[in-house]
Amino acid sequence: MHSLSVVVGLSFSWALPALAENPSVNSGSLECEAIRELKALVETQQSILAQNNAYAVNLTDVLAAGYLPAACPDGSRVRVSGSDVVGGCHFTYGLVSVVNNPRTGDFAFEAVALGVAGTPSAGLEVYITRIVSRYHDFIESYMFNKGVYSDVDLNACSQAG
């Protein structure tokens, strides 16, 4: 049994580089567009948490607090239907889940940028999870590009596009 755990451990350590951050992300990429807009959504949610001791549970409240992803240079946006997503240039943005428990001090939310079918962003999904509690305070980000998982370095993309 011990030799099996060593083999499994070694196999997993060899697999880790495959899960590493996506080296193709550059500041002008579609991935960076999604990352920058999700970072802005996180900042808006952090402001809402500071003011209300709770994250906004719906996108309408996040929009009312000033979040709006950038439109394309020509002013166009991805068309959306419903109030649970908002369109940016190449992606739709929305909240996946929200947890507010002021009694225990646990707050979390997950937001997503989804590429739009028929555009260059099709098949790209970028997720950011923000957790604030007495024990944890972190942000996790990752993406799927046509189903292939990779971690996302939020610092890889500058604010300039």
Is 121 buried (19+), middle (13-18) or exposed (0-12) by CB count in 10 A? buried
How would you write the pLDDT of the chain (161 residues) with one tens digit per residue?
A: 343 333 333 322 323 333 334 444 555 689 999 999 999 999 999 999 999 999 999 999 999 999 999 999 999 999 998 889 999 999 999 999 999 999 999 999 999 999 999 889 999 999 999 999 988 899 999 999 999 999 998 888 865 44
Helices (H), 16-141: 30-52, 59-64
- Total Cβ atoms within 10 A of residue 66: 11
Nearest to 85 by CA among 123, 38, 141: 38
Residue 143: which residues within 8 A CB-CB, separation 6 or more? 22, 31, 34, 124, 125, 126, 127, 149, 150, 152
pLDDT reported for residue 13 = 30
What's the token pair of residue 50? 């500071």
pLDDT reported for residue 21 = 42
Angstrom CA distances, 113 to 61, 88, 93, 103, 161, stand at 18, 9, 5, 30, 17
Coil, helix or strand at residue 16: helix
- Taking the C-alpha atoms of residue 161 and residue 25, their distance in angstroms, rounded to an integer, is 12
pLDDT reported for residue 105 = 92
